[in-house]
Amino acid sequence: MSQQKRKVYLDYNATTPLHPEVQKAMRAAMKYFGNPSSLHEPGRQARKLIEDARKTIASFINAAPEEIIFVGSGSEANNTVINLFSCAGLRTCEMLSLKTVRKEIITTKIEHPCVLESAACMEEQGTKVSYIGVDKYGKIDMHQLKAALSNATALVSVMMANNEIGTIQDIKEISRIVKKAGAFFHTDAVQAVGKIPIDVRELEVDYLSFSAHKIYGPKGIGALYVRKGVVFCPFIRGGHQEKGRRAGTENTLGIIGLAKAIEMRKIEASEEFKRLVRLKKRLKDGIEKNIPDTKFNGHPTDCLPGTLNVSFSGAEGEAILLYLDMEGIAVSTGSACASGSLDPSHVLIATGIPQEQAHGSIRMSLGRDTTVEDIDYVIEKLRRVIKRVRQISSVSTKAKDG
């Protein structure tokens, strides 16, 4: 009798399955089809659902409901903020009431591509952008940050938790430094919301981005916190929705799904946090004990509870991923296949590890459905896969050399 292959999903930082309660809430809301902008009853019903959801979401991060803008994704939230400070955006919205012409942006070398590429686009349009480096654990260099800040700095954008290595930044301290220099502060909290406690008032952030699909909510819906009174300029124009701050008919179902996902986080996150810390330790210990020549990336303690990034010397990350996939295990690599070349992760490179080591890295991200049995299965399969990939890699290196 053939044995059913175990399926182990360890890619929760890429996306998460819909929480059963989220599915239930979204299914129940499907009948509310009205356009939330319409004045008739179906429209008013949809509007009420959205405004109730906004309250739930706002209170979770200690914001006011009117400080939450629904957007299509975490990427859109981040693009919106970075683009606020483009020269064109500033001109269009007559934001030069800022008095000093602050046009420069500071961000870090380890941001998600949606921040880095938006910043690069700003650079092409003439905005000065500085990229702050990180230490070997992925913590940003505060000295570099202080040195880069000036009275020309408009915005500083630093992610709260890194998607590849899980390192959590000291956002309160960073925001204090940024505020002292008179600039606005944005944090990409896509990997942090619902995983670590967040209070926007305590952190004193001006803008904060998040996304539903990282916390067991639906894809295609995100939110941007915009502190009352700070500069804002719509990224998507042509409608009065979201008080004129984001055009486009609202994604009612997605918004309901996001609010339900947040409600479930309130109930489940702290227990899940403790469980994931234990499971991650088991995974890390198992790898250390069974597989030689490994190195763990990211901060040893200031790290997302479910994220483990590990480098295996003499093995290619993509090969490891594919062999694990054949065993029913889903993980990810930081590398990106771009125009035929295999780029190592910009995050790992920023932490100073050699290219070869970055190429041999995989990220395993655990979540609410991960079990002890899953972890033990992964350790056993990983041990065999690494042995196999190292053998193949040494044969092909010898063949190339010879």
- The site for ligand PLP (CB under 6 A) is made up of 73-75, 78, 112, 114, 159, 163, 188, 190-191, 211, 222
Cα angle 164, 169, 173 (rounded to 5 degrees) comes to 165
Alpha helices in 239-354 (DSSP H): 241-244, 252-290, 317-326, 346-350
**Known active-site residue 121:** no
378: number of Cβ within 10 Å: 26
- Compare residues 189 and 379 and give the one whose CB is closer to ligand PLP: 189
Distance of closest approach, residue 341 Cβ to ligand PLP, in angstroms: 22
Q: Which residues pair with 37 in a beta bridge?
A: none
Cα angle 13, 16, 19 (rounded to 5 degrees) comes to 145
- Compare residues 212 and 315 and give the one whose CB is closer to ligand PLP: 212
Cα angle 137, 322, 8 (rounded to 5 degrees) comes to 75
User: Which of 307, 334, 319 is CA-nearest to residue 113?
Assistant: 334
Q: Which tokens is 27 given?
A: 């299914």
Distance of closest approach, residue 220 Cβ to ligand PLP, in angstroms: 8
Straight-line distance from the first to the last Cα atom of the chain, in angstroms, rounded to the nearest whole number: 45
Q: Which tokens is 7 given?
A: 């399926």
Alpha carbons 360 and 345: distance in angstroms, whole number = 10
- Compare residues 114 and 279 and give the one whose CB is closer to ligand PLP: 114
Distance of closest approach, residue 185 Cβ to ligand PLP, in angstroms: 16
Distance of closest approach, residue 140 Cβ to ligand PLP, in angstroms: 14
Nearest residue to ligand PLP, by Cβ distance, number only: 74
- For residue 207, the surrounding DSSP H or E stretch is strand 207-211
Of the candidates 87, 114, 121, 337, the residue annotated as catalytic is 337
- Compare residues 188 and 316 and give the one whose CB is closer to ligand PLP: 188
C-beta of residue 351 within 8 angstroms of C-beta of residue 135: yes
Distance of closest approach, residue 10 Cβ to ligand PLP, in angstroms: 15
Q: Which tokens is 11 given?
A: 């890619």
- Compare residues 90 and 276 and give the one whose CB is closer to ligand PLP: 276
Distance of closest approach, residue 12 Cβ to ligand PLP, in angstroms: 11
Q: Which tokens is 174 given?
A: 């960073």
- Compare residues 79 and 241 and give the one whose CB is closer to ligand PLP: 79
* 111: Cβ contacts below 8 Å, ≥ 6 apart: 119, 157, 158, 159, 188
The residues assigned a catalytic role are: 337
